[in-house]
Chain A
């Protein structure tokens, strides 16, 4: 039994498979996911400009690829990037959420990774908690420390990335418990224990990726540093 199960669910990370959640939890998470994605579609259409498009494609591709790379953590377990905070930092919560939804749709439809019936829950847990919660935490820290320095961006991104994964695992524990899959106290302590460490990997990868964008194309970021914006408009007007 356990052999068959592990054969088709070898790497689920925080990806919830079909069967773990009850119908009420499935419905609530679907409604939340669809409502927020609808707002995101509207906000992207109304407020974003074309320079966000290349970063949307690249960000989605990178997060999909990075999610395939499970890194080992002590104790015989592994984890991988979720990327919600990364997407929120680079693209803002609106386009960031759309990018995360695309990643989970491709994973569940093409590769059976994460159940289709619980796709709403997976989008909320691994996407929206990072793109909204992670993003607003990152922005508060960055703006408090100094908006235009790489240091404050990276400190904000690291803390937000760690926190979002840890919170996601607790939210997932609540969903499992309310679904009657596992007792709440057991779910919380077990999920928190492993994701305390997995979240460190999330922070490291997020910091590396954000520094890369900051050094190469800071003007594409959602809140670009002021010098990068000034540089671009100068080069526009000189041509």
Chain B
């Protein structure tokens, strides 16, 4: 990869991640609190109580840190934005690392992406 395309990719990475972070941090508090699709159906049809009271995820250490999309132990106004920040970075990092690990040092010449 040339230096120019490296710089362009870095610019794309930073602007794309920046947009995602802005959404997760600044828009998340304004998300609708109405029940969504399946939630609404489960309430209307009376099967919401089938959701397990002690889901497996509650046994993970992360449950001590996050209560759904809210960081525990901080004021309500920042709990969801911080959860959004952490979650967006974690998702970005995992996907990027997975991509890097799978696609290692492949030359641009071996392009079979564009069939």
Contact = CB atoms under 8 A, between A and B. Distances in A.
A23 interface: no
Contacts of B15: 216
B37 A68 contact: no
B96 A57 contact: yes
Nearest to A189: B41
A1 B51 contact: no
B113 A47 contact: yes
A44 B68 contact: no
Given A17-B52, A62-B23, A68 B28 contact: yes
Contacts of A13: 36-39
Contacts of A64: 20, 24, 87-88, 91-92
Given A98-B98, A109-B60, A222-B113, A2 B49 contact: yes
A78 interface: yes
Interface residues of B, number: 82
A54 B9 contact: yes
B36 A17 contact: no
Contacts of B19: 62
A220 B12 contact: yes
Nearest to B111: A49
Contact of A12 (B39, B45, B66, B86): B39
A10 B68 contact: yes
Given A1-B49, A64-B20, A72 B68 contact: no
A92 to B, nearest CB: 7
B44 A190 contact: yes
B100 A53 contact: yes
Contacts of A220: 12
Given A4-B53, A16-B38, A66-B23, A61 B9 contact: no
B31 A68 contact: yes
Contacts of A92: 113
A51 interface: yes
Contact of B2 (A15, A58, A239): A239
Interface string A1-43: 1101110111111111111100000000000000000000100
A41 B102 CA distance: 7
Contacts of A51: 1, 5, 9, 108
24 contacts: A6-B35, A11-B39, A17-B55, A18-B52, A19-B50, A41-B102, A44-B103, A48-B103, A49-B103, A57-B16, A57-B93, A58-B13, A58-B92, A64-B87, A66-B20, A66-B23, A69-B23, A98-B98, A106-B94, A110-B62, A110-B87, A182-B45, A239-B2, A239-B3
Interface of A: 1-2, 4-6, 8-20, 41, 44-45, 47-66, 68-72, 76-80, 92, 95, 98-99, 102-103, 105-113, 115-117, 169, 172, 176, 181-182, 186-187, 190-191, 194-195, 198, 216-217, 220, 222-224, 229, 232, 235-236, 239
